[in-house]
């Protein structure tokens, strides 16, 4: 079912992934609307609060001259600033929504860490962050293909949260296997218009607390339906704890530990940079960024994404197609490579101007054979995490970066592979 969804939402050369008849009057609000009497707590009420503010909070805003609306920019990459991913916190104090606009945690239930951990067949932790997706927000622009964007956005957010949590010694662990229905019910979301994507465990293990199901606030969402995406999501659900345990393959290792101050500065500076200068970038620094992007992800599922690199202007490397370790796969004349990269990325300029482009790819048939339909979720999420690391790594070094979508088959042709593109990131010196 997920492969059928993927093929149905591919974009052919010359096509578009956008709804060309959308109107600004129907633009969804990218934040939850909380009742006036909602119980608010400071972010410091949980170890997850400051983490979310640093990794997923608002970093700047501006007024759109054409509409007069305020556009908010957050610390992670989201196509069109539509922000279809919400974050919840489960801790000893209760279950909360992260209110990025209000810089607070909004309480809407009691301590549900016990049943939440049971839904994921994992020990109870000091706190959990749960990400959910709302297709109506990104579907406004990207229609059915917006389901892919939800996972990419969740991945770029998780890249920040994993790195910051490791810097804070919170031993993060990512859970992608859980009983969907149970986790959605614990959050009070309907599983159709809004649904759980991933669970991030933080801090040390604790004894399972008594369940406190008291619910003071239900955060219902609505919007148009997207039958292809809904079918793919339903087909990839896990229905009981036995299915969770059977699917999961815990990976060894931990999130790389970086300087929190350096990370935070890069996250706050990060934006979508699409104008690059022609100066080449040092090879050693490119290798460092790629190494972090390629580092293991502390998750419950093995990696399935392979990253390809098209090099236009990197010191000591001839133009061509490389693997993620900068081993040359095939030389390509620079002008031809730039032209091909720009065309494959929906005829946009920033992949053509970049010093190098990184393409997240996967053999989706093999992923399905190995991990079933749920493997499709992970492939898209993993691509987002690795793309998020690339963007933050670029800004840590004073470069610019921007992600992009693409003409699916044209990317595979450019790279000479049968693998499917999932996401891409263009990186270079700022123009």
Mean pLDDT of 117-135: 96
- The pLDDT-based confidence of 202 (bands split at 50, 70, 90) is very high
Mean pLDDT of 30-35: 88
Mean pLDDT of 375-386: 98
What are the chain's domains? Answer: 2-247 (3.40.109.10), 271-428 (3.40.109.10)
- For residues 22 and 297, the model is more confident at 297
pLDDT at residue 1 in the model: 87
Quote the mean pLDDT of the chain: 93
- Paired strand residues for 134: 194
pLDDT at residue 53 in the model: 97
Residue 215, pLDDT > 70, answer no
For 261-280, the pLDDT digits (tens) are: 999 999 999 888 888 999 99
- For residues 96 and 63, the model is more confident at 96
Residue 217, pLDDT > 70, answer no
pLDDT at residue 305 in the model: 98
pLDDT at residue 199 in the model: 98
- The pLDDT-based confidence of 216 (bands split at 50, 70, 90) is low
Name the token pair of 399.
């470069």
Q: Which of 288, 46, 67 is nearest to 170 (CA)?
A: 46
Mean pLDDT of 96-119: 94
Mean pLDDT of 351-355: 96
Mean pLDDT of 22-27: 86
Mean pLDDT of 84-107: 95
pLDDT at residue 222 in the model: 77
Name the token pair of 309.
């690199």
- For residues 49 and 218, the model is more confident at 49
Whether 403 and 152 have beta carbons less than 8 Å apart is answered as yes
Cβ partners under 8 Å of residue 94, min gap 6: 107, 108, 109, 110, 111, 212
Q: Which residue has the tokens 């892919």?
A: 148
Q: Which residues of 44-54 are buried (b: 16+ CB within 10 A; e: fewer)?
A: ebbbbbebbbb
- The pLDDT-based confidence of 214 (bands split at 50, 70, 90) is low
């Amino acid at each position: 079912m997920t492969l059928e969804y993927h093929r149905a939402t591919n974009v052919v050369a010359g096509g578009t992934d956008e709804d060309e008849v959308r109107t600004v009057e129907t633009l969804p609000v990218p934040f939850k609307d909380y009742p006036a009497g909602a119980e608010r707590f400071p972010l410091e009420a949980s170890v997850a609060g400051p983490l979310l503010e640093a990794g997923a909070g608002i970093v700047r805003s501006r007024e759109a001259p054409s509409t007069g609306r305020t556009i908010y920019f957050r610390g992670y990459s989201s196509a069109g600033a539509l922000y279809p991913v919400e974050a919840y916190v489960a801790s000893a104090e209760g279950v909360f929504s992260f209110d990025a606009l209000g810089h607070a945690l909004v309480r809407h239930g009691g301590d549900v860490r016990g049943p939440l951990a049971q839904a994921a067949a994992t020990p109870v932790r000091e706190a959990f962050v749960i990400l959910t997706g709302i297709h109506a927000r990104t579907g406004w622009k990207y229609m059915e293909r917006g389901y892919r964007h939800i996972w990419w956005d969740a991945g770029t957010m998780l890249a920040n949260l994993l790195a910051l949590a490791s810097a804070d010694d919170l031993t993060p662990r990512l859970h992608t296997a859980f009983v969907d229905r149970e986790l959605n019910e614990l959050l009070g979301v309907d599983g159709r218009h809004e649904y759980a994507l991933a669970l991030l465990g933080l801090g040390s293990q604790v004894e399972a607390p008594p369940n406190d199901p008291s619910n003071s606030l239900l955060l219902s969402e609505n919007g148009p339906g997207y039958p292809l995406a809904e079918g793919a999501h339903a087909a990839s659900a896990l229905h009981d704890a036995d299915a969770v345990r059977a699917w999961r393959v815990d990976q060894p290792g931990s999130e790389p530990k970086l300087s929190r101050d350096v990370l935070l500065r890069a996250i706050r500076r990060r934006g979508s940079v699409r104008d690059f200068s022609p100066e080449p970038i040092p090879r050693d620094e490119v290798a460092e960024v790629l190494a972090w992007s390629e580092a293991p992800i502390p998750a419950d599922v093995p990696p399935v994404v392979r990253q390809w690199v098209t090099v236009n202007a990197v010191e000591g490397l001839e133009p061509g197609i490389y693997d993620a370790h900068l081993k040359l796969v095939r030389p390509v004349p620079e002008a031809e490579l730039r032209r091909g990269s720009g065309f494959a990325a929906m005829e946009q300029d920033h992949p053509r101007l970049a010093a190098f482009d990184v393409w997240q790819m996967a053999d989706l048939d093999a992923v399905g054979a190995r991990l079933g339909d749920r493997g499709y979720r992970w492939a898209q999420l993993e691509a987002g995490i690795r793309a998020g690391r690339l963007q933050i790594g670029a800004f840590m070094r004073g470069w610019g970066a921007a992600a992009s979508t693409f003409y699916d088959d044209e990317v595979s042709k450019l790279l000479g592979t049968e693998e499917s593109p999932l996401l891409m990131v263009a990186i270079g010196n700022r123009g």
